[in-house]
Structure 1
């Protein structure tokens, strides 16, 4: 396997190298998107079937988001020490192992093994998110959001394909003597393993290591941590703002998304209908990314972050008011939910990537993704209990209102920036 040698520090990176890195990341994201969407589609239904309880149906989402928090730390530390290639490849390989564990748990009807396997499966989710940072490592400051969006949009194909293969993979699982709901995890295991192989073999040169080697002096882009306390405080505040945007949007998205298939199942909709709704949701999470990236680069991440809060409010209102038998309105609500998440993720990522120095960038990004995963865990755990006690409309409306908490911080930062 060949590797492009790093140029001397201070020289510009050949744009062809960035294009090659983006192509490799796109291929891996297409594959991993299928694995990511499989767990979303049937994870809650599998737990409900094995446990016989709606109140615990949010536990799978909580577990694989908790696992993604641990994986985010591991992937970011490996990336900081050895580069993006080994970190991302190890994360996807771990997700493949978790998928195999879920299949074994379903075959053995073992809830304990299911929960442990879902925790490990969460590594794929963390790695899928961390890959967006690799796309921005070598991008010019005015094009970072577009580079992030290129990586994100690649997840769309696999993310849309995965849920719509729920029924066929269920047939395959049944033919193999496995529970039908284990079928999508057959796809997830193969997809995550393939993504790991692609990255291990083709992500050369390593984007983070090359970015460090070619770093030039400039605000928020140097390899050195600033010694000036005021500059360090500004960086810290921007990182916290970007983290807040992504944490809140993740919590709201996971909570409402997790319980929508359960809500539909309880009102007589089949796996195909819920798979279609989740497919549209995942498409809305990733497909608008090129447009979102351009908006962030041209209008700034603060405006797009505010749009995230307002879009999530609209999603909560539509989901809360939609009749339970209306697949179309639930699909619209989940599409808005995905779009709001996309606005939040791309704008928040841009804020953090612009602020964090290269020397600490991978660790900072990993710490932020841990917070994102913890918020997803909280949303997943709370969602089942809220629906059990108060109903799905209360969950949806509450999530939409919660999304508004990011607006004051964004407004304050925008005012300070203008001054």
Structure 2
């Protein structure tokens, strides 16, 4: 076997990024429509709005359950089979979702959401896959470009609620059942893209480089446990903050007379905030450091929560709050993911990345699962205000880390 040259690595890096970006865009189309209507379907099938949050809870639990197995599969066989397997499971989950809605079986719907959550695990792993062959100083940018790719499908997806409903009704499905049709097609094609286009495999290439040479593309630095802890805490609590409020927003808006068009627009712009400026946060975090961008993200999360809380009776203020939440989540997630990637030692990088995804998904599940109960007791405004406590925890941890870094350099 010939030794890989720098030109070979650059070519594989470019090809990998194109394949991952294509897969993310495809998967986002169906997932955006499905997750936007999930809370409404959960309330519809269960007969109570208190169960609305279980849809997001099950999807995030599904993502959590798949995080470590997919990371292990990637470490053993490469990114291509891991991502393709996850997308395939998500496609099957959409099939189960159609049966759940058609048969009006709530537990089957929850199973479908858990299987669809595996697609979220694929989404999370993809951002780390983009850094497998990153050049020094460009890890944040590479990671963020893949996160941005989700914008294409995720913004279009929520606006497919109406067309999906019409398509489903033409096949005799109950209300909102048709949104799963888009997910089946998009995830199936994404699985094929990962399986056949993500070649040569970027992770296996990085492992090969580690054997062949002490390459700048393969960090041999030891694990920075403090950086790993701060990055994982930020990922987990930022995701819980966003998921808890976002999951209940469609229910809140519909209860206050908003149409499905308004709900779709609100979620679309929220998702645009989540992904649209990701490259900006990646470039800023590469240039100025991960911690300042995390702090900026937490500030935007706090602003979004306050707008959603004090403006809860206005669709306009809720929309503005959701956009700010999306932007804050994006900045925090990109910078914290970069911090985890920077801090994880080469020997355990894939394992640590899987643990980061697991923590993020579990925190989101707890946040979204509790959100329905909180909503039923203190309303949407109270929910948004109570979640500010999570932002405070992240800011406190960030302050402790910054103080520790300063004392270490003194």
Q: TM-score, normalised by structure 2?
A: 0.95
| Residues 96-153 of structure 1: CA deviation (Å, up to 9, x unaligned) | 0111111110000011111111111110011111101111110113000000111011
The 5-angstrom pairing of residues 20-419 of structure 1 reads 20-215=15-210, 216-217=213-214, 221-222=218-219, 226=222, 232=223, 235-324=224-313, 326-418=314-406, 419=409
Any conservation in 1 of the 2:86–2:122 contact (CA below 8 Å)? yes
How far apart in 1 are the matches of 2:354 and 2:30?
Answer: 21
How far apart in 2 are the matches of 1:252 and 1:109?
Answer: 31
Any conservation in 2 of the 1:316–1:399 contact (CA below 8 Å)? yes
Any conservation in 1 of the 2:130–2:142 contact (CA below 8 Å)? yes
Any conservation in 2 of the 1:316–1:397 contact (CA below 8 Å)? yes
3-state SS of paired residue (1:359): coil
Q: CA deviation at 1:219?
A: 9.9
Any conservation in 2 of the 1:221–1:357 contact (CA below 8 Å)? no
The count of aligned residue pairs is: 405
How far apart in 1 are the matches of 2:402 and 2:105?
Answer: 51
How far apart in 2 are the matches of 1:152 and 1:416?
Answer: 30
| Residues 362-406 of structure 1: CA deviation (Å, up to 9, x unaligned) | 111011101111001101110000000110001111113321211
Q: Relative to 1, partners in 2 of residues 1:133 and 1:13: Cα closer, same or farther, differing over 3 Å?
A: farther
3-state SS of paired residue (1:14): helix
Q: CA deviation at 1:348?
A: 0.9
How far apart in 1 are the matches of 2:364 and 2:290?
Answer: 22
Any conservation in 2 of the 1:281–1:334 contact (CA below 8 Å)? yes
Q: CA deviation at 1:323?
A: 4.3
Q: CA deviation at 1:416?
A: 3.0
Any conservation in 1 of the 2:209–2:218 contact (CA below 8 Å)? no
| Residues 38-60 of structure 1: CA deviation (Å, up to 9, x unaligned) | 23210010011111211111001
| Residue 229 of structure 1: aligned partner | none
Q: CA deviation at 1:411?
A: 2.1
Any conservation in 2 of the 1:314–1:400 contact (CA below 8 Å)? no
Consecutive unaligned residues of structure 2, counting only runs of 5 or more, are none
Consecutive unaligned residues of structure 1, counting only runs of 5 or more, are 227-231
More off after superposition, 26-35 vs 382-391: 26-35
How far apart in 2 are the matches of 1:141 and 1:36?
Answer: 33
How far apart in 1 are the matches of 2:8 and 2:320?
Answer: 42
How far apart in 2 are the matches of 1:10 and 1:243?
Answer: 34
Q: TM-score, normalised by structure 1?
A: 0.93
Q: CA deviation at 1:18?
A: 1.2
